[in-house]
Copies of this chain bind each other. A is one copy, B any other.
Amino acid sequence: MKNIVTIGGGTGTSQILRGLKWNQDIDIVSIVTVTDDGGSSGILREDFNILPPGDIRNNILALAEQETFLTKLLKYRFNEGFLKNHNLGNIILLALTRINGNNFPLAIKTLSEALKIKGRVFPASLDSLKLVAELDDGEIIFGETSIVLKNKNIKRIWLDGNAEAFDESVMAIQKADIIIFGPGSLYTSIIPNILVDGIRNAINLCKAKKLYIANIMTQPGETTNYSLKDHVEELENYLGEELDYIIANKSNLPYEIIQRYQKMGSSPVKLDMEEDRRVVVSDLVYIINDEEPKIRHDPKKTSELILKCVL
Protein backbone atom coordinates (compact mmCIF):
# COMPACT_ATOMS: atom_id res chain seq x y z
CA MET A 1 0.00 0.00 0.00
CA LYS A 2 1.47 3.36 -1.06
CA ASN A 3 0.46 6.60 0.65
CA ILE A 4 -0.25 9.40 -1.79
CA VAL A 5 -0.84 12.99 -0.66
CA THR A 6 -2.15 15.58 -3.09
CA ILE A 7 -1.50 19.24 -2.36
CA GLY A 8 -3.93 21.60 -4.03
CA GLY A 9 -7.63 21.94 -3.80
CA GLY A 10 -9.19 23.20 -7.01
CA THR A 11 -10.63 21.57 -10.10
CA GLY A 12 -7.20 20.32 -11.19
CA THR A 13 -6.67 18.22 -8.07
CA SER A 14 -10.21 16.83 -8.34
CA GLN A 15 -9.41 15.48 -11.80
CA ILE A 16 -6.34 13.64 -10.48
CA LEU A 17 -8.26 12.22 -7.52
CA ARG A 18 -10.92 10.92 -9.90
CA GLY A 19 -8.26 8.82 -11.58
CA LEU A 20 -6.27 7.73 -8.52
CA LYS A 21 -9.24 6.52 -6.46
CA TRP A 22 -9.71 3.37 -8.55
CA ASN A 23 -6.30 1.97 -7.61
CA GLN A 24 -6.71 -0.44 -4.71
CA ASP A 25 -3.05 -0.30 -3.72
CA ILE A 26 -2.91 3.34 -2.70
CA ASP A 27 -4.20 5.34 0.20
CA ILE A 28 -5.09 8.92 -0.74
CA VAL A 29 -5.05 12.06 1.38
CA SER A 30 -6.08 15.27 -0.33
CA ILE A 31 -4.78 18.40 1.41
CA VAL A 32 -6.81 21.41 0.44
CA THR A 33 -6.01 25.10 0.63
CA VAL A 34 -8.26 27.33 2.74
CA THR A 35 -7.55 30.79 1.35
CA ASP A 36 -10.46 30.90 -1.10
CA ASP A 37 -12.53 34.05 -0.54
CA GLY A 38 -14.62 34.16 -3.72
CA GLY A 39 -18.06 32.99 -4.80
CA SER A 40 -20.31 30.92 -2.56
CA SER A 41 -17.37 29.85 -0.36
CA GLY A 42 -16.33 33.45 0.16
CA ILE A 43 -19.80 34.56 1.23
CA LEU A 44 -20.28 31.62 3.60
CA ARG A 45 -16.80 32.20 5.01
CA GLU A 46 -17.56 35.84 5.65
CA ASP A 47 -21.12 35.46 6.90
CA PHE A 48 -20.67 32.34 9.05
CA ASN A 49 -16.99 32.49 10.03
CA ILE A 50 -16.20 29.03 8.67
CA LEU A 51 -13.39 27.82 6.42
CA PRO A 52 -14.21 28.03 2.70
CA PRO A 53 -16.10 24.81 1.89
CA GLY A 54 -16.01 24.78 -1.94
CA ASP A 55 -12.71 23.03 -2.66
CA ILE A 56 -13.22 20.60 0.20
CA ARG A 57 -16.61 19.66 -1.24
CA ASN A 58 -15.17 19.19 -4.74
CA ASN A 59 -12.41 16.95 -3.47
CA ILE A 60 -14.84 14.87 -1.41
CA LEU A 61 -17.05 14.48 -4.50
CA ALA A 62 -14.04 13.50 -6.60
CA LEU A 63 -13.27 10.67 -4.17
CA ALA A 64 -16.88 9.46 -3.89
CA GLU A 65 -17.23 5.98 -5.26
CA GLN A 66 -20.48 6.44 -7.07
CA GLU A 67 -23.22 8.85 -8.03
CA THR A 68 -25.84 8.82 -5.27
CA PHE A 69 -28.75 10.86 -4.03
CA LEU A 70 -26.29 12.72 -1.82
CA THR A 71 -23.70 13.49 -4.53
CA LYS A 72 -26.47 15.03 -6.64
CA LEU A 73 -27.44 17.28 -3.72
CA LEU A 74 -23.82 18.26 -3.07
CA LYS A 75 -23.34 19.36 -6.68
CA TYR A 76 -26.51 21.42 -7.00
CA ARG A 77 -26.06 25.16 -7.43
CA PHE A 78 -29.01 27.55 -7.02
CA ASN A 79 -29.49 30.10 -9.77
CA GLU A 80 -32.18 32.33 -8.27
CA GLY A 81 -33.51 34.02 -5.16
CA PHE A 82 -31.47 34.70 -2.03
CA LEU A 83 -29.63 31.41 -2.61
CA LYS A 84 -28.41 32.49 -6.06
CA ASN A 85 -24.94 31.11 -6.94
CA HIS A 86 -24.76 29.16 -3.69
CA ASN A 87 -23.86 25.55 -3.89
CA LEU A 88 -26.04 23.22 -1.80
CA GLY A 89 -22.95 21.17 -0.92
CA ASN A 90 -21.35 24.24 0.65
CA ILE A 91 -24.51 24.91 2.66
CA ILE A 92 -24.61 21.28 3.78
CA LEU A 93 -20.95 21.46 4.89
CA LEU A 94 -21.81 24.60 6.84
CA ALA A 95 -24.73 22.84 8.55
CA LEU A 96 -22.58 19.79 9.32
CA THR A 97 -19.96 22.06 10.87
CA ARG A 98 -22.59 23.49 13.20
CA ILE A 99 -24.16 20.07 13.90
CA ASN A 100 -20.69 18.79 14.83
CA GLY A 101 -20.09 21.58 17.36
CA ASN A 102 -18.21 23.83 14.90
CA ASN A 103 -15.66 21.11 14.27
CA PHE A 104 -14.91 21.54 10.55
CA PRO A 105 -12.69 18.43 10.18
CA LEU A 106 -15.44 16.35 11.84
CA ALA A 107 -17.99 17.80 9.41
CA ILE A 108 -15.73 16.77 6.50
CA LYS A 109 -15.33 13.31 8.04
CA THR A 110 -19.08 12.87 8.56
CA LEU A 111 -19.79 13.81 4.95
CA SER A 112 -16.93 11.64 3.66
CA GLU A 113 -18.29 8.64 5.55
CA ALA A 114 -21.83 9.25 4.34
CA LEU A 115 -20.46 9.18 0.78
CA LYS A 116 -18.16 6.23 1.49
CA ILE A 117 -15.28 8.08 -0.16
CA LYS A 118 -11.95 6.49 -0.99
CA GLY A 119 -9.31 8.30 1.06
CA ARG A 120 -9.55 11.41 3.17
CA VAL A 121 -9.72 15.16 2.66
CA PHE A 122 -8.02 17.55 5.09
CA PRO A 123 -7.70 21.33 5.19
CA ALA A 124 -4.09 22.58 5.26
CA SER A 125 -4.93 24.66 8.32
CA LEU A 126 -7.90 25.34 10.56
CA ASP A 127 -7.02 29.02 10.76
CA SER A 128 -8.97 31.50 8.70
CA LEU A 129 -6.28 32.52 6.21
CA LYS A 130 -5.99 35.49 3.91
CA LEU A 131 -3.61 35.53 0.95
CA VAL A 132 -1.58 38.68 0.29
CA ALA A 133 0.31 39.46 -2.91
CA GLU A 134 2.88 42.00 -3.98
CA LEU A 135 2.42 42.68 -7.67
CA ASP A 136 5.25 43.45 -10.09
CA ASP A 137 4.40 47.16 -9.85
CA GLY A 138 4.80 47.07 -6.05
CA GLU A 139 1.10 47.19 -5.19
CA ILE A 140 0.05 45.05 -2.23
CA ILE A 141 -3.28 43.24 -2.60
CA PHE A 142 -5.22 41.39 0.13
CA GLY A 143 -7.43 38.42 -0.66
CA GLU A 144 -7.30 35.70 -3.27
CA THR A 145 -10.12 37.00 -5.44
CA SER A 146 -8.82 40.57 -5.49
CA ILE A 147 -5.34 39.34 -6.43
CA VAL A 148 -6.61 37.39 -9.43
CA LEU A 149 -8.95 40.20 -10.49
CA LYS A 150 -5.97 42.63 -10.70
CA ASN A 151 -4.73 40.49 -13.61
CA LYS A 152 -1.14 41.63 -13.13
CA ASN A 153 2.11 39.72 -12.63
CA ILE A 154 2.60 38.50 -9.07
CA LYS A 155 6.02 39.19 -7.53
CA ARG A 156 5.51 37.29 -4.31
CA ILE A 157 2.74 35.93 -2.18
CA TRP A 158 2.34 35.34 1.59
CA LEU A 159 -0.24 34.81 4.30
CA ASP A 160 -1.67 37.59 6.42
CA GLY A 161 -1.07 36.48 10.00
CA ASN A 162 0.01 33.18 11.47
CA ALA A 163 -1.17 29.86 10.19
CA GLU A 164 -0.91 26.66 12.12
CA ALA A 165 -0.88 23.48 10.07
CA PHE A 166 -3.72 21.00 10.66
CA ASP A 167 -2.20 18.08 12.59
CA GLU A 168 -3.67 15.32 10.45
CA SER A 169 -2.38 16.99 7.28
CA VAL A 170 1.13 17.06 8.75
CA MET A 171 0.86 13.41 9.78
CA ALA A 172 -0.35 12.43 6.31
CA ILE A 173 2.69 14.14 4.76
CA GLN A 174 5.03 12.42 7.22
CA LYS A 175 3.67 9.04 6.15
CA ALA A 176 3.55 9.86 2.42
CA ASP A 177 5.43 7.88 -0.23
CA ILE A 178 4.39 10.28 -2.97
CA ILE A 179 3.39 13.95 -2.78
CA ILE A 180 1.62 15.37 -5.80
CA PHE A 181 1.50 19.12 -6.44
CA GLY A 182 -1.03 20.33 -8.98
CA PRO A 183 -2.48 20.61 -11.43
CA GLY A 184 -4.24 23.79 -10.37
CA SER A 185 -3.88 27.50 -9.82
CA LEU A 186 -0.23 28.01 -8.84
CA TYR A 187 -0.70 30.99 -6.53
CA THR A 188 -4.20 30.32 -5.24
CA SER A 189 -4.48 26.53 -5.00
CA ILE A 190 -0.99 25.06 -4.63
CA ILE A 191 1.37 27.59 -3.03
CA PRO A 192 -1.07 28.68 -0.26
CA ASN A 193 -0.66 25.20 1.26
CA ILE A 194 3.12 25.58 1.28
CA LEU A 195 2.82 29.01 2.89
CA VAL A 196 1.67 27.23 6.03
CA ASP A 197 5.05 26.66 7.72
CA GLY A 198 4.11 23.33 9.28
CA ILE A 199 3.05 21.97 5.89
CA ARG A 200 6.23 23.09 4.11
CA ASN A 201 8.45 21.78 6.91
CA ALA A 202 6.72 18.41 6.85
CA ILE A 203 7.17 18.22 3.08
CA ASN A 204 10.87 19.14 3.38
CA LEU A 205 11.47 16.54 6.07
CA CYS A 206 9.59 13.60 4.58
CA LYS A 207 11.09 10.98 2.27
CA ALA A 208 8.27 11.05 -0.29
CA LYS A 209 8.94 11.50 -3.98
CA LYS A 210 7.67 14.93 -5.01
CA LEU A 211 5.86 15.23 -8.25
CA TYR A 212 4.43 18.26 -10.02
CA ILE A 213 1.64 17.97 -12.54
CA ALA A 214 1.83 21.10 -14.64
CA ASN A 215 -1.20 22.96 -15.88
CA ILE A 216 -2.10 22.54 -19.53
CA MET A 217 -3.10 26.20 -19.93
CA THR A 218 -1.82 29.39 -18.30
CA GLN A 219 -4.20 31.23 -15.99
CA PRO A 220 -5.01 34.90 -16.53
CA GLY A 221 -4.35 36.95 -13.40
CA GLU A 222 -1.97 34.27 -12.10
CA THR A 223 0.41 32.77 -14.62
CA THR A 224 -0.08 34.76 -17.84
CA ASN A 225 2.75 33.80 -20.25
CA TYR A 226 4.36 31.45 -17.68
CA SER A 227 6.28 28.62 -19.34
CA LEU A 228 6.66 25.19 -17.72
CA LYS A 229 10.01 26.32 -16.31
CA ASP A 230 8.43 29.44 -14.79
CA HIS A 231 5.85 27.29 -13.01
CA VAL A 232 8.43 24.81 -11.72
CA GLU A 233 10.92 27.44 -10.56
CA GLU A 234 8.24 29.34 -8.70
CA LEU A 235 6.94 26.22 -6.97
CA GLU A 236 10.47 25.10 -6.01
CA ASN A 237 11.20 28.58 -4.77
CA TYR A 238 8.32 28.45 -2.27
CA LEU A 239 9.01 24.82 -1.48
CA GLY A 240 12.70 25.42 -0.82
CA GLU A 241 13.70 22.17 -2.52
CA GLU A 242 13.68 20.40 -5.85
CA LEU A 243 10.88 18.30 -7.27
CA ASP A 244 11.56 14.68 -8.27
CA TYR A 245 9.24 14.49 -11.25
CA ILE A 246 7.52 17.00 -13.49
CA ILE A 247 4.61 15.77 -15.55
CA ALA A 248 3.47 17.95 -18.43
CA ASN A 249 1.07 17.72 -21.30
CA LYS A 250 2.32 17.36 -24.84
CA SER A 251 -0.55 17.18 -27.28
CA ASN A 252 -2.23 19.32 -29.84
CA LEU A 253 -5.36 21.06 -28.65
CA PRO A 254 -8.34 21.78 -30.90
CA TYR A 255 -7.76 25.12 -32.61
CA GLU A 256 -11.19 26.60 -31.79
CA ILE A 257 -10.76 25.86 -28.08
CA ILE A 258 -7.30 27.47 -27.99
CA GLN A 259 -8.80 30.51 -29.69
CA ARG A 260 -11.51 30.80 -27.05
CA TYR A 261 -9.04 30.40 -24.21
CA GLN A 262 -6.76 33.03 -25.79
CA LYS A 263 -9.61 35.55 -25.77
CA MET A 264 -9.68 35.09 -21.98
CA GLY A 265 -5.88 35.60 -21.75
CA SER A 266 -5.03 31.93 -21.41
CA SER A 267 -2.69 29.94 -23.68
CA PRO A 268 -1.04 26.49 -23.66
CA VAL A 269 1.86 26.25 -21.17
CA LYS A 270 5.07 26.28 -23.27
CA LEU A 271 7.32 23.25 -22.75
CA ASP A 272 10.84 24.58 -22.18
CA MET A 273 12.33 21.92 -19.90
CA GLU A 274 12.45 18.90 -22.16
CA GLU A 275 16.19 18.50 -21.60
CA ASP A 276 15.53 18.08 -17.84
CA ARG A 277 15.55 14.33 -17.04
CA ARG A 278 12.84 14.82 -14.39
CA VAL A 279 10.32 15.89 -16.98
CA VAL A 280 7.82 13.35 -18.32
CA VAL A 281 5.51 14.40 -21.12
CA SER A 282 2.45 12.72 -22.56
CA ASP A 283 -0.97 13.44 -24.01
CA LEU A 284 -3.01 14.17 -20.89
CA VAL A 285 -5.84 16.21 -22.30
CA TYR A 286 -9.50 15.58 -21.69
CA ILE A 287 -12.05 17.94 -23.22
CA ILE A 288 -15.20 18.48 -21.15
CA ASN A 289 -18.09 18.79 -23.54
CA ASP A 290 -19.94 21.38 -21.59
CA GLU A 291 -21.84 24.20 -23.33
CA GLU A 292 -18.38 25.66 -23.92
CA PRO A 293 -15.73 22.89 -24.16
CA LYS A 294 -13.09 23.11 -21.42
CA ILE A 295 -9.61 21.64 -21.15
CA ARG A 296 -8.94 19.34 -18.24
CA HIS A 297 -6.46 16.62 -17.24
CA ASP A 298 -7.70 13.18 -18.20
CA PRO A 299 -8.05 11.37 -14.83
CA LYS A 300 -7.16 7.93 -16.21
CA LYS A 301 -4.22 8.94 -18.39
CA THR A 302 -2.76 11.24 -15.75
CA SER A 303 -3.07 8.87 -12.82
CA GLU A 304 -1.55 6.03 -14.86
CA LEU A 305 1.41 8.24 -15.72
CA ILE A 306 1.84 9.28 -12.08
CA LEU A 307 1.92 5.69 -10.91
CA LYS A 308 4.31 4.69 -13.74
CA CYS A 309 6.73 7.42 -12.60
CA VAL A 310 6.84 6.64 -8.92
CA LEU A 311 5.74 3.08 -8.21
Contacts and interface: CB of A to CB of B under 8 A. Distances in A.
Interface in A26-49: 43-44, 47-48
A260 interface: no
Nearest to A96: B73
A164 to B, nearest CB: 25
A96 to B, nearest CB: 7
Nearest to A87: B95
B81 A48 contact: yes
Contacts of A80: 47-48
Contacts of A73: 92, 95-96, 99
Given A82-B47, A91-B83, A91-B91, A99 B70 contact: no
Contacts of A91: 83, 88, 91
A69 interface: yes
A110 interface: yes
Interface in A54-107: 69-70, 72-73, 76, 78, 80-83, 88, 91-92, 94-96, 98-99
Nearest to A84: B47
Contacts of A81: 44, 47-48
Interface residues of A, number: 25
Interface string A105-130: 00000100110000000000000000
A82 B82 CA distance: 8
A76 B95 CA distance: 7
A37 to B, nearest CB: 16
A274 to B, nearest CB: 47
A83 B43 CA distance: 11
A88 B92 CA distance: 8
A247 to B, nearest CB: 37
Given A88-B92, A91-B91, A114-B69, A76 B98 contact: yes
A73 to B, nearest CB: 6
B70 A70 contact: yes
B76 A99 contact: yes
A82 B73 CA distance: 20
Contacts of A99: 72-73, 76
A211 B113 CA distance: 44
A95 B89 CA distance: 11
A114 B78 CA distance: 21
Contacts of A44: 81
A120 B170 CA distance: 49
A98 B87 CA distance: 13
A69 B80 CA distance: 27
Nearest to A78: B95
Interface of A: 43-44, 47-48, 69-70, 72-73, 76, 78, 80-83, 88, 91-92, 94-96, 98-99, 110, 113-114
25 contacts: A43-B82, A44-B81, A47-B80, A47-B81, A47-B82, A48-B80, A48-B81, A48-B83, A69-B110, A69-B113, A70-B114, A72-B99, A73-B92, A73-B95, A73-B96, A73-B99, A76-B95, A76-B98, A78-B94, A82-B82, A83-B94, A88-B91, A88-B92, A88-B95, A91-B91
